[in-house]
Homo-oligomer: A and B are copies of this chain.
């Protein structure tokens, strides 16, 4: 499930109030890596304090026969824990690579790797996913029998489908650079 999401929502406590921000992530085994600017308040606030990372996939809208039974089909993973700042150079590069491979699979071997200065400007957090919980809602509406018997309206699920559009080359890209397979055929 974590592998199927694109961004997660990172929840931290800043000055006693919750802050929830979308964040890229990657995974190596049981460890989730999140990154951002070393200057980002939310990420700095996440160091060594309890955080919550939530990845949600919306699969469909459930049209029921009663307003009360309207619902959403979704999958959601919620990870709680203490985030650890990654300072070790080897783990940091591996974590950033996992992040890049999650967000833009296949690209790492083709792009310039981070410089020492870029690494210093990047804050990488590691979070153990062994305390994750998963919630899933799937299938047709769960209407009461009375509503099934008497309702006149349509009921069912309208799937939400997420696909890739046509790749848009960078305006500064030299003519003739083909769209690579890892972009054109991304699954």
Q: Which residue of B lies closest to A110 (CB)?
A: B153
- CB of A34 within 8 A of chain B? no
A22 engages B153 (CB within 8 Å): no
B155 touches A173 (CB 8 A): yes
Residues of B within 8 A of A183 (CB): 63, 154, 156, 158
Q: Could you list 28 A-B pairs, sorted by A, with CB under 8 Å?
A: A7-B56, A9-B54, A10-B20, A11-B52, A17-B52, A18-B50, A19-B78, A20-B53, A61-B104, A63-B183, A66-B112, A66-B118, A67-B100, A67-B107, A68-B122, A140-B170, A140-B172, A141-B170, A153-B177, A154-B179, A155-B169, A155-B170, A156-B167, A156-B173, A156-B183, A159-B168, A160-B164, A161-B165
Could you list which residues of chain A lie within 8 angstroms of chain B, going by C-beta atoms? 6-7, 9-13, 16-22, 24, 50-54, 56, 58, 60-61, 63-68, 70, 72, 74, 76, 78, 80, 96-97, 100, 103-104, 107-108, 110-115, 118, 122, 140-141, 143, 147-148, 151-173, 177-180, 183, 186
